[in-house]
Amino acid sequence: MLGMSIFLVSPVNLKTAFKIPVEATADVSLRRIQSGQIKSGGSFQWTCGSAKGAGKADADGINTHPGVTIASAPTTLTITKLPN
């Protein structure tokens, strides 16, 4: 299992003239995982806040989690490798 905190930088932490969003939706892809890597075609489940899904790693072993909501408050993205 792999868990990582994802979040947007908050306007308080970034001094800029641009408006910083408080929430965004993105496809999150993990690459170059060193420990517990999911091999090409390997299955996984993921959770991020109340969202969850499942998928298979692509030909390069990259796993993508579509439509993840990212906010300024840290949320843990957890990926669990499933047996093949």
CA nearest neighbour of 80 among 43, 33, 51, 29? 43
Asked if pLDDT for residue 84 goes beyond 80, the answer is: no
**Between residues 35 and 2, which one has the greater pLDDT?**
2
pTM for this model (two decimals): 0.81
- Res 58: pLDDT: 92
Check if the beta carbon of residue 65 is closer than 8 Å to that of residue 84: no
pLDDT tens column, 22-75: 899 999 998 777 777 888 899 999 999 888 999 999 998 898 988 899 998 999
- Residue type for position 51: A
- Res 43: pLDDT: 94
Segments making up each domain of the chain, as ranges:
2-33+40-81
| CA–CA distance, 48 with 68 (Å, rounded to integer) | 7
